[in-house]
Amino acid sequence: MNKFTSSLVGYEMLIRKYGDKKWHLPQNFDAIPVDEQISLLKKTAHRIGLKVGSISFNLNRRQFIDPHMAEALIDVQREIFPVKLIIEVTEEESDQLVSEDKFLTSTKHYAENGVQISLDDVGSGHNTYENVKSLLPYADEIKFAMQNFRNDNKEFKIVEQLQFWKEIANRYHIRLVVEGTETAEEDQLLDDLNLPYRQGYFYGKPHLVKLE
């Protein structure tokens, strides 16, 4: 959401698997066929896309460089236009096997075909500034996860890191979205830092989209 305009600007789609009478996080996203993921993406986009300006879809780096996935997602963008499709590039251990050249080539390909790129969890794990700076000229958005710092008992670094990534976002003219906003105090902190784009349980929890 954009807090300063009190508007919902996009949805992030989180794929879940049903089993044992409940929805849960899939153990292996790669085990879900590309065509099935794309079908769900299209159905969801057509159902909720008119309510917002963008829909985000998560891929790890191996999925991101898959030519079949790329062409399928570019086709989705053409189909749901003018709603913007944003690919959130997540970080996994095995992703380190993906070369930077291949990743950069795929990034340019998506960008040239109207698909926006979001770099997830900047400042955390492998996504340090040094590791993502070559991608920033092709990114439309960066996401900063406050919960990662809380989980690592590094809350004291949040303000400093937010100020740093705000400067980076301004330099490259891209959006900075802050994830993990859970309390009124954190909401006020982002107000004080003049950061409009936010996501987190403080504003609303994920809910099931019924497609049929």
Q: Residue 3 CB: number of other CB atoms within 10 A?
A: 16
Q: What is the pLDDT along the chain (212 residues), one digit of tens a residue?
A: 999 999 999 999 988 988 899 989 888 887 888 899 999 998 988 888 778 889 999 998 889 999 999 999 999 999 999 899 999 998 776 667 788 899 999 999 999 999 999 999 999 988 899 989 999 999 999 999 999 999 999 999 999 999 999 999 999 999 999 999 999 999 999 999 999 999 999 999 988 888 87
Whole-number pLDDT of residue 75: 95
pTM: 0.92
Residue type, 141: E
Dihedral sign of CA atoms 151, 154, 156, 160 in order: negative
For residues 64 and 78, give the distance between their C-alpha atoms in angstroms, rounded to a whole number. 18
The pLDDT value recorded for residue 27 is 83
Record the tokens describing residue 5, joined without a space.
């305009």
What does the alpha-carbon distance between residue 124 and residue 132 come to, in Å, rounded to a whole number? 11
H runs (alpha helix) in 81-137: 100-112, 129-132
